[in-house]
Amino acid sequence: MTYKLLLLPGDGIGPEVTAEVERVLNWFQKHRGFAYTAERALVGGAALEAEGAPVSKATMQLALDADAILFGAVGGPKWDANPFDKKPERALLRLRKELELFANLRPAICFDALKDASTLRPEVVSGLDILIVRELTGGVYFGEPKEITTLPNGERRAVDTQVYTTSEIERIARVAFALARLRSNNVASAEKSNVMVSGVLWREVVQTIHDKEFPDVNLTHILADNCAMQLVRRPKQFDVIVTDNLFGDVLSDEAAQATGSIGMLPSASLGAKDPKTGKQRGFYEPIHGSAPDIAGKGLANPLASILSFAMCLRYSFARVEDASLLERAVEAVLNNGLRTGDIMQPGKTQVGTKAMGDAVLASLDAMAKS
Ligand code: NAD
C-alpha cells in the first residue's frame, strides 16, 4: 500500500520544520517499508501571496484526496492587518471544516529529560502523559450568528454563538472513550454546565454515551475553570480530557506549558471513519505557530513536527511500532543532551533545526541497528 501524503509547510518556521519531517519520512521509506507519495502545496500567507486565498480550491482538492496531511504553521505580522477572510489562519479553519476534522488530539507529555524545563516543579510534571480531546468543528468558533452590528444608539455589539447538537457531542465523546481504553481508562469531561445550557447538554450526552457504550471507562465531569486550575495544581490526575472547541483551545495550551515548550508538542485532527472504506481523514501539525521572531534563522525546534508525524503513523496508518520507534528516537536525542534554544538548559548542547533533525535520524539509525 502506498500512502498519499499532502505536505503543507505554510509560513515562518513551517517550511523549516517540515523539511526535517521530510527527511524522517525518507528514512521510514528506506528502512521501514513506509511507501508514500507526497504532494506539496502552499497554504496561509504563502498561498495568499501566490494564489490570492489562504487555501486555494486546488489545494483543498489535494487535501480531500490525501490519506494524511502534514501541516507546518501559518501566519505572520505581514498579514495581521488583513480582513478576516484574508487572514492566513482562515486556511486552517477551512481545512478543518471541509475535511470534517471534528476530533483534535493534543497529547501533553513531559519527557523526563525536560522535566526541569517546565515552569511547574519537576515532581509535578515528571511522567506527565495527558491526552486532550478537543471538539474542533463546532461550538463558538463556528456558531451563527457571528457578527458585529451597530446599535441605534451608535454603540457596536459583537455576537459569537456557542452551539452544540447531540450528534456532535456523541461523536467526540466516543473518540475520547475509545482512546481512554488504550491508555489508563479515565475520561474527564470538561464544560460549564453551571452557567451554560450547551454545557448542560454536553454533560448529559457524554454521560449517556458512557453508560450505553463505554461503562467500563471511568468518567468524571469537571467544570472547565476547575479543570484549568487542576492542570497546574496536580496535572497527573488526568488521563483523557474531553471538551468543547473553546475550552479545548485554552486547556490544551495550558497543559502544553506544563511540558516545558511549545516546540515539543504535536497534534492530530481526525475525521469520522468512512463506514465503507474504513478510511479516516488525518491532519497532523505541531501546536506552535509560525514563530516569526525566529523564522529563517535555523533555530526552530522541529521535534513537535516530527512527533506529529509519529501520531500520523499511529492514527492514520496503524503503524504503532514505527510510531513508538520515532518517539523513542526523539527521547534518546533529548537524553543525549541536545537542545534547541526553546528547551535549552544549563550544561546541555544547543543546536539548530537541521542539527536536531540530523540527531533524530542518527538516533533512528542506531535503533534500527540494535
Ligand atoms: P508561536 O507559536 O508562533 O510563537 C510563540 C513563541 O514560541 C515565540 O517566541 C516562538 O519563537 C516560540 N516558538 C514557537 N514554535 C517554536 C519552535 N518550534 N521552536 C522554537 N521556538 C518556538 O505563536 P505566536 O507568536 O502567538 O504566533 C505567531 C503567528 O503564528 C501568528 O500569526 C499566529 O496567528 C500564528 N499561529 C499559527 C498557528 C498555526 O498555524 N496552527 C498556531 C498558533 C499561531
Catalytic (active site) residue 112: no
Catalytic (active site) residue 80: no
pLDDT at 34: 97
pLDDT at 216: 98
Do 32 and 90 reside in the same domain of the chain?
A: yes
Do 228 and 183 reside in the same domain of the chain?
A: yes
Quickly tell me which residue has 464544560 as its cell.
Answer: 191
Interatomic CA distance for residues 37 and 43, integer angstroms: 19
Q: Ligand 1 within 6 A of 249 CB?
A: no
Q: Which of 290, 354, 356 to mutate to test the pocket of ligand 1 (most atoms within 8 A of CB)?
A: 290
Q: Which of 90, 261, 262 to mutate to test the pocket of ligand 1 (most atoms within 8 A of CB)?
A: 262
Do 200 and 290 reside in the same domain of the chain?
A: no
Backbone angles phi, psi at 219, to 5 degrees: -120, 130
SS3 assignment, position 73: strand
Which range of residues forms the domain containing residue 169?
105-270
Q: Based on the structure, what is the number of domains in the chain?
A: 2
Contact of 300 with 353, CB cutoff 8 Å: yes
Task: List, for the chain, all residue ranges whose pLDDT scores fall below the cut of 50.
Answer: none
pLDDT at 279: 79
Do 124 and 139 reside in the same domain of the chain?
A: yes
| Among protein residues, the one whose CA lies closest to atom 17 of ligand 1 | 263
| Domain CATH number, residue 262 | 3.40.718.10
| Among protein residues, the one whose CA lies closest to atom 42 of ligand 1 | 289
Do 287 and 362 reside in the same domain of the chain?
A: yes
Do 182 and 124 reside in the same domain of the chain?
A: yes
Do 27 and 126 reside in the same domain of the chain?
A: no
The structure's pTM equals 0.91
Do 111 and 258 reside in the same domain of the chain?
A: yes
pLDDT at 275: 81
Interatomic CA distance for residues 11 and 362, integer angstroms: 28
Q: Which three cell numbers stand for residue 330?
A: 526523539
Do 118 and 73 reside in the same domain of the chain?
A: no
Do 48 and 90 reside in the same domain of the chain?
A: yes
Pairing of strands 240-243, 218-223: unpaired
pLDDT at 182: 86
Q: Which of 251, 270, 289 is the last residue of a domain?
A: 270
Q: Which of 223, 251, 270 is the last residue of a domain?
A: 270
Do 264 and 284 reside in the same domain of the chain?
A: no
Quickly tell me which residue has 445550557 as its cell.
Answer: 197
Q: Which three cell numbers stand for residue 320?
A: 504503532
Q: Which three cell numbers stand for residue 301?
A: 525546534
Q: Which of 270, 300, 329 is the last residue of a domain?
A: 270
Do 351 and 214 reside in the same domain of the chain?
A: no
Report the atom number in ligand 1 closest to the C-alpha of 341.
20
